Every structure is written in C-alpha cells, then in structure tokens.
Amino acid sequence: MKTSLKDLKVDLIREEDFVEVSEWFVRRKWPVPPAGQMLPPSGYVAYSPDGMLHAVAWLYVTNSQIGIIDWIATNPESEGMVGLVGVKKIIDHIERIATDISVFMHFTPNDSFARYLKGKCRFKITEKANILTRRRASLEVVNG
C-alpha cells in the first residue's frame, strides 16, 4: 500500500521503536544513536496509519534558546520521498511545540541532506560546515 504523505503523523518515540530505528543507521553505515540515558526524552518518529515508521530525530535542549536536532534518519524501506517528508514533519512539529527555543541547529556531514533541509525547512547552510540553523521569524538576526 502506497503511503500518503499527508497522512504521516508525528509522535514521541517509544522504547520498543529504538531497535528498529537503530537498524536504519546500521543499514546506512552511520554511527548508531547511543541507547538509554544518552538520548534526550524528546525523540520523535514520523509514521503512517499502518504503523510503519518512516523518520526519526531527537531534540536536545538546554537552558538556552538553542535546540539541537540530531540523530536524524529515514527508514531505508520507505518509498520515494516519504522518509524525507517525515523528517520535515518532525522538524515542523518540534518547532510548534518547542516554543522557548529561538534557534534550531543540526550538524551534518551529508551535503544532499543539508540541501534538502534548506529547501524544505528554511534552514540556512553555513559554508565552512553543514551547520543548519533555523531561526524563528520573529527573532532579529544580528550580524557579528
């Protein structure tokens, strides 16, 4: 059954989902997210109505106005753009609920993923490294 992009939902990751999403990292030959207490409780998955997981990301927050979105991955079994649309939905969800955060950052060595996020999620890509930052529209940008 083809997954409808508009039907993707976002929710907190469940403990039983961790093994499956870790396998996505293994299949892509990426480092696997640390288990247990090393990850924040704010991990999110995008899933279809049939329960299939398509994307994952974790939000790290501190007592500052910066949030770091990390350990982003898509399910290698997802068809077409479903996984990447799932990532976008997770990032949009995080921005809606994390109202105390003004700047979202993601560090990635993956150029194509950086271009995707820039095009779909209004991230700014720095030239020296793929440090993706997304500022809320109401935050004044100050050049320093």
pLDDT given for residue 113 in this prediction: 67
pLDDT given for residue 95 in this prediction: 85
Round to whole Å and give the CA distance between 46 and 64. 27
pLDDT given for residue 123 in this prediction: 63
Q: CATH number, domain at 74? A: 3.40.630.30
pTM of the complete model: 0.78
In a domain, 144, yes or no: no
Structurally, the chain folds into a number of domains equal to: 1
Mean pLDDT by 10 residues, the chain (144 residues): 81 94 91 82 94 94 85 92 92 86 72 66 58 51 34
The DSSP annotation for 97-135 comes to H-TT-SEEEEE-S-HHHHHHHHHHH-PEEPSSS-EEEEE
pLDDT given for residue 103 in this prediction: 77
pLDDT given for residue 97 in this prediction: 86
The number of helix segments (H) and strand segments (E) in the chain equals 3, 7
In a domain, 53, yes or no: yes
